[in-house]
Amino acid sequence: MTRTAHTIYIGILTVIAVCTFAALVIIGTSYYKVALTERMYHPDHDSLKPSGTIGHGIGILGSLLMITGIASYMARKRFRFLSRIGKLKYWLEFHIFLCTIGPLLILFHTAFKFGGIVAVSFWCMVAVFLSGIVGRFIYLQIPRSIEGRELSLTEIREMKRNIAGEISKRENITEEYKNIVRLVKQDRSLSRKISRLDTMQRLFRYWHVVHLPFALIMLIIMAIHIFITVLFGYRWIF
């Protein structure tokens, strides 16, 4: 994927996320701002309540998007044959997209009413989402190859030596000024990354200890919630 194509790809995902949020707000604002005790009298109650046509539907869609986002990214990291299908960072970006839209839809599915065991799943989902933002920041601090593979300290130092060698080869300072400035910036960036590589790697390991258990608890409770919902006959439009 070229840089232009990647920019368009990210732009499309962003537009979809923003439009989804805007549509949910426009459709449900008049209903969600009503007190919980008064909502049953609202004309949109039958469609926007958690078991309503829209409310139930976006809950199903949100759950599917989250499960797809989690499962696809985990599969990409664990199954070698998938490594030939796009760079890991593209899969991560799509994972982030699905795991942003999914919780957003589920938030509106709840109609902002939380209680019981489902509340535990919801707050676990919030914890997963927020820790995902932190994890993304840490992930960006760790140097990676063009395929998205984490680079070792030896590889980073070798890149730094190569850049230093390129700088030393530039004889005509005037004509090569822009290239030299670019190489110097890359050299400084690698120096900073070398100095904090060990810290970022340790933080990333600790981050997994927090992120994964919350995600697991969320999925287990979600599965229980879906089972009970189906058991009691709430099957949406089926």
| Average pLDDT score over residue span 153-181 | 63
pLDDT of residue 148 exceeding 60: no
Domain limits, the chain: 1-113, 126-233
Q: What is the mean pLDDT of the chain?
A: 79
> Would you place residue 193 in the very low, low, confident or very high pLDDT band (cuts 50, 70, 90)?
low
| Average pLDDT score over residue span 63-67 | 91
| Average pLDDT score over residue span 158-176 | 62
| Average pLDDT score over residue span 215-229 | 84
User: Which residues lie across from 144 on neighbouring strands?
Assistant: 150
> Would you place residue 135 in the very low, low, confident or very high pLDDT band (cuts 50, 70, 90)?
confident
Here the tokens at position 44 are 């949109």
Instruction: Specify the pLDDT at position 146.
Output: 46
pLDDT of residue 172 exceeding 60: no
Name the residue with tokens 């981050």. Answer: 207
Instruction: Specify the pLDDT at position 31.
Output: 92
Asked whether 56 and 236 are in contact (CB, 8 A), the reply is yes
| Nearest one of 110, 107, 76, 71 to 90, comparing CA atoms | 76
Asked whether 187 and 140 are in contact (CB, 8 A), the reply is no
> Would you place residue 206 in the very low, low, confident or very high pLDDT band (cuts 50, 70, 90)?
confident
Instruction: Specify the pLDDT at position 201.
Output: 72
Q: Distance between terminal CA atoms of the chain?
A: 40
> Would you place residue 183 in the very low, low, confident or very high pLDDT band (cuts 50, 70, 90)?
low
Residue of higher predicted confidence among 181 and 230: 230
pLDDT of residue 196 exceeding 50: yes
Q: DSSP 3-state assignment of 237?
A: coil
| Tens-digit pLDDT profile for residues 30-48 | 999 888 889 999 999 999 9
